[in-house]
Chain A
């Protein structure tokens, strides 16, 4: 059965949310100050308003992937409601207003290859022609590589992250390192001084992923050479994981 997201991808001026921009941004300012029960509760109320929009996009993505050959190898997951911890950290780190935050709720689709990711992105852009696209493969964010689409679902921004399996593995590695080294700034280029090798390792693996994916898309690529390059890339990840374990 075809699934239609009827609210999908309206221009930002349509589908006014119940919360005014001023109310949202005043809440954002309160969240920059020491937290209290009221600010956390208000953020939660705001977060909950995303649920119908989040569900509508999820249903559309699920339907799209179920109908596409590409969907068989695609891994769809969702995150509803950015945590208070992450929301506050982002507000404090950046000059962004809460009403501008586009990743309060969203989905991630992990594909088996760079070519599959490109094919899916083309499909998603026909599903959501007004989606804003942030290609982080071109302007690498401290090694993070992926393509993010932000669709407007009835007035609410919903983020869709499209990653290859190796981009995803790198992102998980980076996040895990940030946690175990107690260095939450790693993904923003703030590396822990007591572990200077972190930057070199993450940058090296990210560059290796980029080279591998470039080769994947090369029409002259042979399956034999691709397998060799893939093994080499996996070894780089294994070495990085070893550092993590040490």
Chain B
């Protein structure tokens, strides 16, 4: 499974940062998440910063379609 760091602006309903975490770089990803959450506090933003796992980015977009506005893609995969 691959790990992804995703930062999502809830008010704008859009992803503002998205990156795959290289293997062995989990602690750096935790640090980055904390830094983003602290910055969001200072900026007064409703950021949702999450670490998500899936077997691929394509699958992540299905398992967490709400972040990517890919509901139509998800619906197509349900057919």
Q: Which residues of A are in contact with B by a Cβ distance under 8 Å?
A: 35-37, 40-41, 44, 48, 51, 58, 62, 75-81, 83-86, 108, 110, 165-166, 168-169, 172-173, 175-176, 179-180, 182, 184, 234, 237-238, 241, 244
Contact = CB atoms under 8 A, between A and B. Distances in A.
B33 A81 contact: yes
Contact of A48 (B30, B40, B50, B52): B30
B51 A81 contact: yes
Contact of B37 (A83, A234, A238): A83
Given A40-B37, A58-B53, A83-B37, 5 more contacts: A51-B26, A172-B64, A176-B69, A184-B10, A238-B75
B41 A40 contact: yes
A167 to B, nearest CB: 11
Contacts, number: 101
A51 B64 CA distance: 21
A241 to B, nearest CB: 6
Given A78-B52, A244-B71, A35 B10 contact: no
B62 A35 contact: no
B39 to A, nearest CB: 10
Contacts of B65: 172, 176
A173 B65 CA distance: 9
